[in-house]
Structure 1
Amino acid sequence: MVCHSFLCTVSLCVFLAASASSEILGVNLLRNERNSPTALIGCLTKAGLSPVTPSNPSYQNDSLPVNTRLIYQPASLVYANTAKDVSAAVKCGALHEVKVNARSGGHSYASFGTGGEDGHLIISLDNLNNMKLSGEYVTVGAGTKLGPLYYFLWENGQRATVFGTAPQIGVGGHLHGGYGFLSRKWGLFLDQVVEMEVVKADGSVVTANKDSNADLFWALRGAPPSFGVITQLTILTHPAPTHAATFAFTYNWSTPYIASSAFQIFQHWTAEADMPSDLTLQVQYTDASPVPTFWLIGAYYGDDGIAGLNKTVQPLWDALLALNDSVPTATIFEDLNWIQNVLYEAGLDPTTDPKVALEDAPAIHYPFYCNSVFYSADDLLTNASTLSFAQYTYNGTSADMNWIAYLYLFGGKNSAISAVPQDATAYNARDMFINLQVCGNRNTMPFPDDGLSFTEGMLKSVTDMMPGVRFTGYPNHVDSQLSREEAHASYYPTHTQRLQEIMKKVNQKAVFDYPQGFLPV
């Protein structure tokens, strides 16, 4: 039989095409099999990790975030007991092409601890809660909660370090910043961390510090979720203050014009006064009837206690009193020891047993939306912007929810936060002065749609009055409404490029990812 070249070529092409199609089909079948939920669960089970899946009775409770406005459905959750467990889970996620996220305390405003979207593998670090004090340093598991850690440090030599106030928060979540009442004195929480044990995207367990895996260490202090799962931290501690002179003054200004003047007095005094680092101040501004409530609160940690507090803050109190509109409707002075101050700042009774109050603080779950902006001492809020904010809040909202705003003092004279160079860590707001946070919340579901728009409008009432001014965001107050690119521009305006370059080295396939995470570009 003679084979004509044209026909042979066609036959060969058909054969090759059929072979190629079969090969592609085989690859797709293998990929589909590898990506199936059953395959992931099988891998986790084989590794001895007891995955919690949607078919488990405990799944809904185990996957419930603090912010119940944003509930997602993970492909599976596992509770790691060791770094080896975390490594095995990461390898399973990578093998089966399922995005992996760690959950420390689960307090992400955007529920990123459960993926920020459906279908992720969640590694809960709750069982990594060991604590060991050695000299000035405490080594803790990344799932350790702040309340037990506060008490542990107090009971073991009356030590302290910088944490937030809620005892239920996991220590790992503090690595986006970590602001506390001692931050002006000692810095942010991430500034206290000297070493970390980290599971990388390939499952390897490494040590990160200033000398080993230095780029990874840099990234983890400010932008941790994209770069690894932290399993253990070594943290610098300090002798706890001998005094914590705390105060709270409550005002109800009759008009938004006077409220605006009070905001101006607060920000100008804190920017211009030679405030000692022992002093911290903030404003809490809350929804109330018939007018909002303006809380001026603070603490002074100097050895001279109440006398030192009075001497330091009296000019601010006098300036507010000179508004001649409202004497404080409530005045609180407490001369406390450090652990009593921890309870007080957490909204707990400072006379209660700290062990019980801090170690047994109940879990919280409720729907809310929060956001915040930083501004610098060179761009204080204008009279027009604080008046716009006051008028907006005095008009109130028809949304079935409560709202609250905070002014947190990060910078200013003698602030340890500002003393750290801007590029020392991935945290990107060293030059910022005050953080203005706004929140809308309610006790039960659902969260109202107009509540979201009202809360967003609180910040816009300020920023829209100051076009051209540089406002930045705080990633611990993450805005769930931002895209990936918007989040990077807000939280890491000068650090995004370096973070993306580090991603190429440590997480090339974006095994650790979430809606605002970094990509290896």
Structure 2
Amino acid sequence: MFCLSFFSFVALGIAGAASVVSDDVLGVDLSLRERNSTTSLIDCLTRAGLNPVTPSNPTYQNDSLPVNLRLIYKPAALVYPNTTDDVSASVKCGAVNDVKVNARSGGHSYASFSTGGEDGHLVISLDNLNNITLSGDYVTIGTGNKLGPLYYFLWENGQRAAAFGTCPQVGVAGHLHGGFGYHGRKWGLFLDQVVEMEVVKADGSIVIANNHTNADLFWALRGAPPSFGIITRFTVLTHPAPTHAATFAFTYTWSTPEVASSAFQIFQHFAAETDLPSDLALQVRYTEATPVPTFSLNGAYYGNDGITGLNRTVQPLWDALGALNDSVPTATIFEDLNWIQNVVYEADSDPTIDPKVALQEAQGFQIPFYSNSLFYPADNLLTNASTLSFTRYTYNGTSADVNWYVLWDVFGGKNSAIAAVPQDATAYNARDMLMNLQILGYSTTLPYPDDGIPFITGILKSVTDPMPGGRFMGYPNYVDSQLSREEAHAWYYPTHTAKLQRIMREVNPKAVFDYPQGFLPT
């Protein structure tokens, strides 16, 4: 996710968000059966000493607000456990009272699935499970931790690093669907670094999951976690932080959609056909602007030869874009940063500021938005018709009453650590994909504009419709809230759905953990 720069001037914050959400929107209107079940649930949680936050509690409105204010749901109750045993007791209370249960680790689900994705769920917020312990090459992390403090802790304790996402406000467990950051091609996805988990199962039992113990559960949790258990602790491989992070961002404004389409063709062919080192991260940020969208080529090179290695690696791409003779790029940054400065920069902050402030004290945001995503492979690149359809749509479609952007991230390609992992090693189902597009439209006010969802869906269709033979899928960390359960399984887990459903029957047969796109034991 593009963490701050698009959102910082419109971030509403908890207090601001609450001020634009009326009480009647958050009011709970339950049937008699649901009220009886909820009353019994709250009694159970109270007897267990879990201090549930309920609709009658003055903090309920703020506590239950999600990041995405377009999708506000009304939990039956929220709890903030202090221990794994507390999580277990919470799950048992939900199960015995037939109330669906969801974990919240940061709460950055694009579809508000961490607050249930619908009304009436029990939300187990993991904020207080925030211990961090480093031992040798491995760090043990409570799942209440956010990424920013983790980056800072590892840097301060021996200048270590790990394969996390870029946004400091995101909860660590929330990106176990994948967990992509700028260093993903070098080390792999976050889920590839997890060697062990402590997990609370649907019956409240507490187990250890790794490649040897509860191996099927471990497989499912690495790519499709919410249906299968609540993770309370990870053990994660760390790495020595790179000594260099040669960082750049060049912004172009192509005059016509035809030229912009040519630029995207150059970019994708470079990513697919060049022997790119795993030390290179590469992205295009394509952003709504006036009079035409901006095309910002961003990246970082983590090799020991710094700027020299970056120039040698990326110069052919710069030359090819320059040959379009349509736009002189503006270099917003081109310098050799250290690792933690690069982490701050990729979080859309000034790399010269104190990293403790930038990472440990990063403010969250709450805003109405809609997002979807698209993967495609190197052996089936977008055709000229596809990229031209995309650029024509976005050059002509800015009349929609939303702010929008599309991030094009290189996940795979030659020498990518993500692609090096076998396709069936984890539930994550996109090992053979080269490029990911994250498409997002947001608003500065509520309600979310009526044309927002059709416009963003139109961007996706502008890419896929001209390629009926294309091989596409989506990224579950950028979940599309508009998909049905069956559509989501086919889009995010095209070859893994059957195995996930089998594991679901074994570990969560009553669907205690559930949400609108979750797996069912059928």
TM-score > 0.5, shorter chain as reference: yes
Q: CA deviation at 1:397?
A: 3.0
Kept in 2, the 8 Å contact 1:35–1:97? The answer is: no
Kept in 1, the 8 Å contact 2:301–2:310? The answer is: yes
Question: Letter of the aligned partner of 1:137 in structure 2?
Answer: Y
Number of the residue aligned with 1:302: 303
1:331-357 superposed Cα distances (whole Å, 9 cap, x missing partner): 420211000000000011111111122
In the alignment, the residues of structure 2 paired with residue 444 and residue 354 of structure 1 have an alpha-carbon distance, to the nearest angstrom, of: 31
In the alignment, the residues of structure 1 paired with residue 283 and residue 275 of structure 2 have an alpha-carbon distance, to the nearest angstrom, of: 16
In the alignment, the residues of structure 1 paired with residue 438 and residue 42 of structure 2 have an alpha-carbon distance, to the nearest angstrom, of: 40
- CA 1:36–1:74 in structure 2 vs 1: closer, same or farther (change >3 Å)? same
In the alignment, the residues of structure 1 paired with residue 337 and residue 445 of structure 2 have an alpha-carbon distance, to the nearest angstrom, of: 35
State yes or no: 1:152 paired with 2:153: yes
Number of the residue aligned with 2:396: 395
Question: Aligned to 2:154, what secondary structure does the other structure show?
Answer: helix
Question: Letter of the aligned partner of 1:234 in structure 2?
Answer: T
Question: Letter of the aligned partner of 1:63 in structure 2?
Answer: S
Q: CA deviation at 1:396?
A: 2.5
Number of the residue aligned with 1:511: 512
Question: Aligned to 2:176, what secondary structure does the other structure show?
Answer: helix
Structure 1 residues 467-482: aligned runs within 5 Å: 467-482=468-483
Q: CA deviation at 1:174?
A: 1.3
TM-score of the superposed pair, with normalisation by structure 1: 0.93
In the alignment, the residues of structure 2 paired with residue 474 and residue 396 of structure 1 have an alpha-carbon distance, to the nearest angstrom, of: 24
Number of the residue aligned with 1:21: none
Q: Which shows bigger deviation, 389-398 or 69-78?
A: 389-398
Number of the residue aligned with 1:78: 79
Kept in 2, the 8 Å contact 1:250–1:330? The answer is: yes
1:286-317 superposed Cα distances (whole Å, 9 cap, x missing partner): 00000100000000000111111111100000
Q: Which shows bigger deviation, 323-332 or 145-154?
A: 323-332
- CA 1:286–1:140 in structure 2 vs 1: closer, same or farther (change >3 Å)? same
State yes or no: 1:129 paired with 2:130: yes
Residue correspondences, number = 491
Number of the residue aligned with 1:55: 56
In the alignment, the residues of structure 1 paired with residue 473 and residue 342 of structure 2 have an alpha-carbon distance, to the nearest angstrom, of: 31
In the alignment, the residues of structure 2 paired with residue 191 and residue 329 of structure 1 have an alpha-carbon distance, to the nearest angstrom, of: 36
Kept in 2, the 8 Å contact 1:503–1:519? The answer is: yes
Q: CA deviation at 1:36?
A: 2.3
- CA 1:314–1:43 in structure 2 vs 1: closer, same or farther (change >3 Å)? same
In the alignment, the residues of structure 1 paired with residue 184 and residue 331 of structure 2 have an alpha-carbon distance, to the nearest angstrom, of: 27
Q: CA deviation at 1:130?
A: 0.5
- CA 1:33–1:344 in structure 2 vs 1: closer, same or farther (change >3 Å)? closer
In the alignment, the residues of structure 1 paired with residue 348 and residue 292 of structure 2 have an alpha-carbon distance, to the nearest angstrom, of: 23
Q: CA deviation at 1:462?
A: 0.7
Kept in 1, the 8 Å contact 2:102–2:123? The answer is: yes
Number of the residue aligned with 2:417: 416
Number of the residue aligned with 1:363: 364
Q: CA deviation at 1:468?
A: 2.3
Question: Aligned to 2:223, what secondary structure does the other structure show?
Answer: coil
Number of the residue aligned with 1:179: 180
In the alignment, the residues of structure 1 paired with residue 142 and residue 436 of structure 2 have an alpha-carbon distance, to the nearest angstrom, of: 29
Kept in 2, the 8 Å contact 1:243–1:301? The answer is: yes
State yes or no: 1:251 paired with 2:252: yes
Q: CA deviation at 1:399?
A: 2.6
In the alignment, the residues of structure 2 paired with residue 438 and residue 331 of structure 1 have an alpha-carbon distance, to the nearest angstrom, of: 23
TM-score of the superposed pair, with normalisation by structure 2: 0.93
Number of the residue aligned with 1:282: 283
Number of the residue aligned with 1:192: 193
State yes or no: 1:430 paired with 2:431: yes
1:53-97 superposed Cα distances (whole Å, 9 cap, x missing partner): 011110010001000000000000000110000000000000000
**Runs of at least 4 residues of structure 1 off by over 6 A?**
none
Structure 1 residues 81-120: aligned runs within 5 Å: 81-120=82-121
If you compute each CA radius of gyration, which structure gives the higher value, 1 or 2? 1
Kept in 1, the 8 Å contact 2:194–2:237? The answer is: yes
Question: Letter of the aligned partner of 1:421 in structure 2?
Answer: P
In the alignment, the residues of structure 1 paired with residue 296 and residue 380 of structure 2 have an alpha-carbon distance, to the nearest angstrom, of: 23
Which runs of 5 or more residues in structure 1 are unaligned?
Answer: 1-30
Question: Letter of the aligned partner of 1:252 in structure 2?
Answer: T
Kept in 2, the 8 Å contact 1:33–1:39? The answer is: no
In the alignment, the residues of structure 2 paired with residue 146 and residue 289 of structure 1 have an alpha-carbon distance, to the nearest angstrom, of: 34
1:98-154 superposed Cα distances (whole Å, 9 cap, x missing partner): 000000010001000000000000000011111000000000101100000000000
Question: Letter of the aligned partner of 1:342 in structure 2?
Answer: V
In the alignment, the residues of structure 1 paired with residue 71 and residue 455 of structure 2 have an alpha-carbon distance, to the nearest angstrom, of: 18
1:487-509 superposed Cα distances (whole Å, 9 cap, x missing partner): 00011111111111111111000
Number of the residue aligned with 1:222: 223
Kept in 2, the 8 Å contact 1:283–1:408? The answer is: yes
Number of the residue aligned with 1:208: 209
Structure 1 residues 307-456: aligned runs within 5 Å: 307-456=308-457
Q: CA deviation at 1:400?
A: 2.3
Kept in 2, the 8 Å contact 1:201–1:511? The answer is: yes
- CA 1:51–1:251 in structure 2 vs 1: closer, same or farther (change >3 Å)? same
Kept in 2, the 8 Å contact 1:147–1:168? The answer is: yes
Number of the residue aligned with 1:498: 499
1:1-24 superposed Cα distances (whole Å, 9 cap, x missing partner): xxxxxxxxxxxxxxxxxxxxxxxx
In the alignment, the residues of structure 1 paired with residue 175 and residue 333 of structure 2 have an alpha-carbon distance, to the nearest angstrom, of: 29
Q: CA deviation at 1:445?
A: 1.5
Number of the residue aligned with 2:272: 271
Question: Letter of the aligned partner of 2:141 in structure 1?
Answer: V
Q: CA deviation at 1:443?
A: 2.3
In the alignment, the residues of structure 2 paired with residue 490 and residue 396 of structure 1 have an alpha-carbon distance, to the nearest angstrom, of: 26
Q: CA deviation at 1:482?
A: 0.3
In the alignment, the residues of structure 2 paired with residue 265 and residue 103 of structure 1 have an alpha-carbon distance, to the nearest angstrom, of: 40
1:180-237 superposed Cα distances (whole Å, 9 cap, x missing partner): 1111011000000000000000000000000110000000000000000000000000
Kept in 2, the 8 Å contact 1:129–1:144? The answer is: yes
Kept in 1, the 8 Å contact 2:144–2:171? The answer is: yes
Kept in 2, the 8 Å contact 1:252–1:329? The answer is: no
In the alignment, the residues of structure 2 paired with residue 104 and residue 127 of structure 1 have an alpha-carbon distance, to the nearest angstrom, of: 10
Question: Aligned to 1:262, what secondary structure does the other structure show?
Answer: helix
Q: CA deviation at 1:436?
A: 1.2
Number of the residue aligned with 2:25: none
